[in-house]
Chains A and B, each alone.
Chain A
Amino acid sequence: GQNIDQPTEMTATEGAIVQINCTYQTSGFNGLFWYQQHAGEAPTFLSYNVLDGLEEKGRFSSFLSRSKGYSYLLLKELQMKDSASYLCAVRETAAEQGNLIFGKGTKLSVKP
């Protein structure tokens, strides 16, 4: 079956660093994605990992370990505007057609 787990809620302080973990069990794997979603808005793409290791993009980094079925999203120098839900998603099948399977999302609250 398909299972993508991430914490429901997290709280962090402005200026700090936070790590949001995601574990997955899927029948196939062809990439892991992180999306940010502010309340009432569309999910927006943050990062993509298909090989093991760390991908860095500004204040955001994402890590993947395929053997462990594990990823994390690291947010540095937190800002109030980073308060949002963060969605972990896996593409199971070949990139040509595969849709994304999403976790339930982690609601991050950044406090002053």
Chain B
Amino acid sequence: DTGVSQDPRHKITKRGQNVTFRCDPISEHNRLYWYRQTLGQGPEFLTYFQNEAQLEKSRLLSDRFSAERPKGSFSTLEIQRTEQGDSAMYLCASRGRGSGANVLTFGAGSRLTVL
């Protein structure tokens, strides 16, 4: 078990470009979450998958944001036409079934800087 992996760890892009982040959850976890965190703030919920189904989306997830989990394993978060306000740490977390199901395990995050 290698934990939750996120790639890339850092991304610097120019305003208007598209970026994509990938998350590989813990292998037996069927639930996957995306959060955004800015400096000095707590993580803010973006979206949630159970297996391949996207079951919940925050109002923070504008139409420039799209997330997928096509085979119920890894997930991608794409931001189109990036804006400077998108600069943040994008955190992925996963959660499984059974006795450990209450706990979200987070990845180290993908830090986005939009110039």
Instruction: Mark A residues whose CB is within 8 Å of B.
Output: 4, 8, 31, 33, 35, 41-45, 48, 87, 89, 95, 97, 99-105
Within the complex, which residue of A33, A44, A102 is in contact with B44, where a contact is CB–CB below 8 Å? A102
Report Cα–Cα, A100/B103, bound state, in Å.
10
- Interchain pairs with CB closer than 8 A, number: 52
From B40, B103, B108, give the contact of A48 (CB < 8 A).
B103
Interface size on B, residues (CB 8 A): 24
Q: A-B pairs with the 9 shortest C-beta distances?
A: A102-B42, A42-B106, A99-B45, A42-B108, A45-B103, A43-B106, A102-B43, A104-B42, A105-B42
Q: Is the CB of B106 within 8 A of A89?
A: no
Q: Cβ of A95: which chain B residues have Cβ within 8 Å of it?
A: 101-102
Q: A89-B42, A104-B40, A104-B41 are in contact. Are A99 and B33 (CB under 8 A)?
A: yes
Nearest CB of chain B from residue A71's CB, rounded to whole Å: 14
Is the CB–CB distance between A97 and B103 below 8 Å? no
Known: A8-B40, A35-B106, A102-B42. 8 other contacts (CB 8 A): A31-B102, A41-B108, A43-B91, A95-B102, A97-B31, A97-B48, A97-B50, A99-B56
